[in-house]
A and B are shown apart, each in its own frame.
Chain A
Amino acid sequence: MQKQLTPTEAADEQETIAVVGIGVCALSLRSFEQVFADIDPELGTAYLVAVRQQEGLMSAPSLRC
Chain B
Amino acid sequence: MPVSIAADGELLKPNQVFVGGPDDMITIEDGHVHIRPAAEPVGQRGTIDSMLISIAEHAHDRAIAVILSGLGSDGTAGVTATKKFGGLSIAELAKDEAEASQAAVGPLGAADLQLPADEIAQHILLYARNLSQLIETGADDEISADLEGQITQITTILRNVTSHDFHGYKRGTFTRRVHRRLQVLQIETVEAYVERLRADREEVQNLFQDLLIGVTQFFRDPAEFEALEQEMPRLFEGKEAGDQFRVWVLGCATGEEAYSIAILLREHMATLDHPPEVQIFATDLDARALGLARAGRYSSTIAAHVRPDRLSRWFVREGDTYCVSKELREMCIFSPHNVVKDAPFSRIDILSCRNLLIYLNGDLQNRVIPIFHFSLRPGGVLFLGSSENVTRHAKLFAPVDRKNRVFRRLETATRIIPDFPLSPRTRSIDPQIMAPLSGLPAPRLTSSINRQAEAVAERYAPAYVVVDTHGDVLHFSGRTGRYFEPAAGAATLNLLSLAHRDLRLDLRSALHRATAEGTRIEVPRVVIRQDDRAYAVNVVIEPLGNGDVTSLIVLFQDAGQVAESSSKGDGGWLTADEHVQRLETDLRVTRDRLQATIEELESTNEELKSSNEEYQSINEELQSANEEMETSKEELQSVNEELQTVNGELGHRVSELGRTNSDLKNLLEATQIATVFLDNDLRVRNFTPAATEIFHLLDTDVGRPLDHVVSRVAYPELQDDVRRVLKTLSVVERQVSDPAAGRHFTARVLPYRSVDNYISGAVVTFMDLTVAYKAEAALRQSEQRLRLA
B360 contacts the other chain (Cβ, under 8 Å)?
no
Looking at chain A's contact residues, the main secondary structure is: mixed
Segment with Cβ contacts to A, from B61-69, B214-222, B485-493, B556-564: B61-69
Q: How far is the CA of A30 from the CA of B116 in the complex (A)?
A: 12
Interchain CB contact (< 8 A) of A48 among B11, B21, B23, B26: B26
Contact with B along A33-52 (1 / 0, CB 8 A): 01111111111111111111
Whether B64 contacts A48 by the Cβ 8 Å rule is: no
B129 CB contacts on chain A under 8 angstroms: 43
A23 to B50 Cα, complex, angstroms = 10
Which residues of the other chain, A, contact B74 by a CB distance below 8 angstroms?
Answer: 23, 52
Given A17-B12, A19-B63, A27-B666, the answer on whether A48 and B18 have CB atoms closer than 8 Å is yes
Contact B62 A34 (CB under 8 A): no
**Bound: A30/B670 CA distance, A:** 12
Given A23-B66, A30-B117, A47-B18, A55-B42 contact (CB < 8 Å) = yes
A21-B52 contact in complex given A35-B117, A54-B667, A63-B19, C-beta closer than 8 Å: yes
Which single residue of chain A is at the shortest CB-CB distance from B6?
A48
Nearest-Cβ distance from residue B35 to partner chain A, whole angstroms: 11
**Alpha-carbon gap, A31 to B45, bound state (A):** 22
Most chain A C-beta atoms within 10 Å of own C-beta, residue among B55, B66, B667: B66
Q: When each residue 47-65 of chain A gets 1 if its CB lies under 8 Å from chain B and 0 otherwise, what string results?
A: 1111111111111100110
Count of chain B residues near A, Cβ 8 A: 67
The smallest beta-carbon distance between A31 and chain B, in angstroms, is 4
A20–B74 alpha-carbon span in the complex (Å): 17
- For the complex, give the distance between the alpha carbons of A10 and B31 in Å: 9
CB pair A26 B667 closer than 8 Å: yes
Give the distance to chain A from B86, nearest Cβ to Cβ, in Å.
Answer: 12
A13 vs B127: C-alpha distance in the bound complex, in angstroms?
18
Candidate in A13, A50, A54 with the most chain B CB atoms within 10 angstroms: A50
For A49, the closest partner residue in chain B by CB is B19
Flag if B124 contacts A53 (CB, 8 Å). no
Q: How far apart are the CA atoms of A45 and B52 in the complex, in Å? A: 15
Does B754 count as interface, using CB distance less than 8 angstroms?
Answer: no
Partner among B21, B22, B78, B131 whose Cβ is within 8 Å of the Cβ of A21: B78
Binary A-proximity of B52-95 (CB < 8 A = 1, otherwise 0): 10010011001111111111001100100000000000001000
Chain B residues near A45 (CB, 8 Å)?
A: 14-15, 64, 124, 128
Q: Are B52 and A51 in contact (CB under 8 A)?
A: no
B16 interfacial contact with A, CB 8 Å = yes
A42, B666: Cα distance in complex, Å: 35
Tell me whether A23 and B67 are in contact (CB under 8 A): yes
A14 at the B interface (CB under 8 A): yes
B45 A53 Cβ-Cβ under 8 A: yes
Q: Are B52 and A56 in contact (CB under 8 A)?
A: no
The answer to whether A19 and B22 touch across the interface, beta carbons within 8 angstroms, is no
Q: Does B135 contact A (CB under 8 A)?
A: yes
Residues of A within 8 A of B131 (CB): 18
Q: Give Cα A64–Cα B3 distance, bound, in whole angstroms.
A: 8
Query: Provided the pairs A17-B62, A19-B58, A19-B63 are in contact, do residues A52 and B15 lie with their beta carbons within 8 angstroms?
Result: no
Asked if B33 lies at the interface with its beta carbon under 8 angstroms from chain A, I say yes
With A24-B68, A27-B663, A48-B33 known as contacts, the answer to whether A18 contacts B48 (CB < 8 A) is no
Top 8 A-B pairs, shortest CB-CB distance: A27-B70, A38-B121, A23-B48, A28-B68, A31-B117, A50-B51, A14-B31, A18-B62
Can you sample 14 A-B contacts with CB below 8 Å? A14-B12, A17-B13, A21-B78, A22-B68, A26-B667, A37-B121, A43-B15, A43-B125, A45-B14, A48-B20, A49-B18, A49-B26, A52-B74, A54-B667
Given A27-B667, A44-B132; 16 other pairs, CB 8 A cutoff:
A16-B132, A19-B59, A21-B63, A23-B52, A23-B71, A23-B74, A23-B78, A27-B70, A27-B670, A44-B14, A45-B15, A48-B6, A49-B20, A52-B71, A54-B42, A60-B21
Chain A residues at the B interface, C-beta cutoff of 8 Å: 10-11, 13-14, 16-28, 30-32, 34-60, 63-64
